[in-house]
Structure 1
């Protein structure tokens, strides 16, 4: 490796893409193309970065498998930054295995962190934790140690473990300062701000107030019966009833929790669950059926009783019933939650992360665009969606991940 390549690599490692480009901008050999691709990625030109990295990978000879594997890892990082979650996960895994076999532990660890971050975005927390097992960040450079702690914090945040999140972010902050990379420090600071931002709203006895992540953790550990509108579940302590795939039942549970200790009129339940403005006997019959199903599912936690006006929810052991709602009233809150990271997402990536159809996501994006809440970049398959860079609420509670104990 010549001196210019070495100097450019050191500039990139220090977070100085312009310094790296000044050294290799006019070169077309494979190592220079790879470094130019990484520099363009750091500058935010992800499309150009992808092209350069692919060209570099083709330029390395058959005996330079490690260099090609590093290009694959760099391209995977670009894909993750562009929220291309449909990228070839098997290719990244193969590159990681080759790097480990060749003794390039730092780049192999970086590849593993990319795998874990992708799993976090699509809500597969258990698999993400398994991939972190046995990975000791201590021997790695400060930037990789910061990446490790950010991943640990991301898992803890999505599990609603505020104390563990705070501890991991403190370690990430120390490592980021040692690395001296401004972008990495900014990422850590952004994650720290999430702990102080409103994560949900507590609605009970006709009133509501915002809750931070630590307060949500305390609420879920309390003796209250919590109807969680962020994750569509009903829980009391470590007992959990998921209604994520039963939207009608959850709509009924949410209405009953919001009115507790009072009851809810049948007309109100029909409107909340079925959108029925003018209910007929068929609607009332369906309501009785769905109430019966909800009563059966919630039997371990609460019982539903008929009243003169409608129905009421009563906990079996809990002292109170609380509705935990997203921090803002929004018809497409889950879509906005993912877009709130400031990155540009494709509709297919959003559909994968949300576990729904691409057409449903597209309808939500069109509605949000009409309200000026999101904007589209590009056309056809290159179209990406994003919101302004300063999000109004944290995404941690809205990501598709199981509750603690779930």
Structure 2
């Protein structure tokens, strides 16, 4: 490897893509193409980066399996960053095994981290945690250790383990500081801010207040009766009842929980559960059936008793009933939640992550675009969606300072 390639690789390792490009921008050999591809990825030009990495992979000879595998891992990371969730995962696993067989454990671990991050996007926490348990971060260099701890923190946040998340973010911050990569340090700071933002809304006896993630964790660990509208669960004393696949039953228990200790009229329950403006006898009969099913599912935690005008929730243990709701609720909240990461998503990637049909996601995006809550760029298969930029700040203030030579 010549001195320019070595210098470019060191520049990329310290987060200096422009310095790397100065050294290899005019070269067409496979190592230079690979470094140019990684540099373009760091600069945000993902389409150009993928083309360069594919050219580099084709340019490496049959004896350079490790170099080709590294190109595949880099392309997988670009696909993840650009939310191309249809990228072939089998190619990443094959590259990881090649790296392992040749003793490149650091890049093999990086490939595993990419796979875990992809699983987190799909909400497959058990699968992600099983893969995460196989990794030993001790031998990682600082940048890889920071990336690993960010994955650990992401897992802990989704598991509502705030102490574990803060510990992982502290380790990530220390490792990023040692690596002296500004983009990595900024990513750690952004992840840490999530823990201090409102994570949910508590509804209790007609009053509402916002909760941070630590407060949500403490609430769900308490013996109280919690109707969790974020994940469609009902929590009690060491008992959890899932109503994720029973939307009508959850609508009923949520309305009863919000009204507790008062009752809810039959007409109000019918309107919430069946979205019927005018109730007739068929709606009342259906309400009785659904409430019977709800009683059966909540039997370990509570009863649903009939009153003169409707029904009321009666916990089996003496405790308050509270409802835990998302901070902001609207019709397409799940789509907005994914777009809130600041990345640009294709409608097909959103469909895969949400487990919804492409047409359902497209209608949601069109509705949100009409309301000015999302915006798109590109056409056809290249069309991407994202949330609008932060208002009230001129865009020039968000740009970096003058580039060298300007």
Q: TM-score scaled to structure 2, two decimals?
A: 0.94
Contact 1:196 1:213 in 2 (8 A): yes
2:46 and 2:82 in contact (8 A); partners too: yes
| CA-to-aligned-CA distance 1:113-150 (integer Å, 9 cap, x gap) | 00110011111111111112232212111011001111
Tell me the secondary structure at the aligned position of residue 198 of structure 2.
Answer: coil
**More deviation, 119-128/204-213:** 119-128
- Which structure is richer in relative contact order (CA contacts within 8 A, separation 6 or more)? 1
1:372 aligns with 2:372: yes
Which structure: larger Rg?
A: 2
CA distance in 1, matches of 2:154, 2:318: 31
Query: Could you say what secondary structure the match of 2:44 adopts?
Result: coil
Q: Give the equivalent residue in structure 1 for 2:399.
A: none
1:355 CA displacement = 2.2
Q: Following the alignment from structure 1 to structure 2, what is the Cα–Cα distance between the partners of residues 107 and 88? A: 18
The equivalent of 1:398 in structure 2 is none
What residue is the counterpart of 1:212 in the other structure? 212
User: Unaligned 5+ residue runs, structure 2?
Assistant: 392-406
Taking the aligned partners of 1:72 and 1:237, their CA distance within structure 2 comes to 49
Structure 1 residues 3-402: aligned runs within 5 Å: 3-317=3-317, 319-388=319-388
Considering only aligned residues, what root-mean-square deviation do their CA atoms show, in Å? 1.3
Deviation at 1:237, TM superposition (A): 4.1
The verdict on how the C-alpha distance between 1:217 and 1:390 changes in structure 2, with shifts beyond 3 A counting, is farther
TM-score of the aligned structures, taking structure 1 as reference length:
0.94
Shift in alpha-carbon separation, 1:360–1:323, aligned structure 2, 3 A: same
Q: Deviations over 1:85-138 (max 9, x none)?
A: 221111101100110110011111110100110011111111111112232212
Deviation at 1:60, TM superposition (A): 1.1
In 2, Cα distance between the equivalents of 1:389 and 1:65? 42
Asked if the contact 1:220/1:237 (under 8 Å) is kept, the reply is no
Distance of 2:286 and 2:235 partners within structure 1: 25
Task: Name the structure 1 match of 2:395.
Answer: none
Structure 1 residue 271, shift from structure 2 partner:
1.4
Q: Report the Cα offset of residue 75 of structure 1.
A: 0.4
Q: Using a 3 Å threshold, how does the CA distance of structure 1 residues 84 and 164 change in structure 2: closer, same or farther?
A: same
Q: Distance in 1 between matches of 2:243 and 2:286?
A: 18
Change (3 A) 1:237 1:335: farther
Select between 346-355 and 45-54 the one with higher mean Cα deviation: 346-355
Number of matched residues? 391
SS at match of 2:305: strand
Farther off after superposition, 174-183 or 349-358: 349-358
Contact 2:200 2:211 (8 Å CA) reproduced: yes
Change (3 A) 1:318 1:112: farther
Displacement of 1:356 after TM fit? 2.1
Given that 1:241 and 1:298 are in contact with CA atoms closer than 8 Å, whether structure 2 keeps it comes out as: yes
Judge conservation of contact 1:340–1:390 (CA < 8 Å) in 2: no
CA deviation vs aligned residue, 1:250-309 (integer Å, no higher than 9, x gap): 111111111111111111111111111112222222211111111111111111111111
C-alpha offsets along residues 2-50 of structure 1, whole Å, 9 cap, x if unaligned? 1111111110010000001111111111111111111111011111111
SS in structure 1 at match of 2:110: helix
**By how many angstroms is 1:244 displaced?**
1.0
TM superposition shift of 1:318 = 5.1
Q: CA offset at residue 345 of structure 1?
A: 1.0
Any stretches of 5+ residues in structure 1 without a counterpart?
A: 392-406
Give the CA deviation at 1:388: 3.2
Contact residue 225 and residue 318 of structure 1 kept, 8 A: no
> Could you tell me how far apart the structure 2 residues matched to 1:389 and 1:42 are?
20
Distance 1:301 1:389 in 2: 45
- In the TM superposition, structure 1's runs of 4+ consecutive aligned residues that sit over 4 Å from their partners are none
Alpha-carbon deviation of 1:68?
A: 0.7
Q: CA–CA distance in 1 between the matches of 2:243 and 2:364? A: 21
Distance apart, 1:67 and its partner CA: 0.7
The 8 Å contact of residues 252 and 269 in structure 1, kept in 2 or not, is answered as: yes
CA distance in 2, matches of 1:223, 1:241: 14
Would the aligned equivalents of 2:137 and 2:145 in 1 still touch at CA under 8 Å? yes
